[in-house]
Amino acid sequence: MLPEGYTQVETTVRAVLADVLGLSAERVAGFTATTPLFGALPELDSMAVAGVLTEIEDRLGILIEDDEVDGDMLETFGALVEFAAGKALV
């Protein structure tokens, strides 16, 4: 059972990826939990990661500590949504 608000977090993360990386709405709409991100999306280099995380912070009203940022949370779309939801849905 997904926690309340999980879908909203997922929508937000999807929109952030589209806005920061300049991806089309159709493309991000096709992202599933297992869609690989870092290392698989050429648009998502380390500088773009900084923009994605900061924009997620702003939109969800959360703070992501630097020591929480690692390869695992960026590996797939599902992992990133899960991380953001873990912060936003306390």
Chain positions contacting another protein, by CB under 8 A: 12, 15, 18-22, 43, 45-51, 53-55, 58-59, 61, 66
What's the closest the beta carbon of residue 25 comes to another protein, in angstroms?
11
Kindly tell me which of 32 and 46 has the beta carbon lying closer to another protein.
46
What's the closest the beta carbon of residue 1 comes to another protein, in angstroms?
26
Kindly tell me which of 53 and 79 has the beta carbon lying closer to another protein.
53
Q: Is 2 exposed, middle or buried (0-12, 13-18, 19+ CB in 10 A)?
A: exposed
What's the closest the beta carbon of residue 81 comes to another protein, in angstroms?
16
The amino acid at 69: V
The torsion angle over the Cα atoms of residues 87, 72, 80 and 62, rounded to 10 degrees, is 30
Structure tokens at 54: 């900061």
Specify the DSSP class assigned to residue 72: G
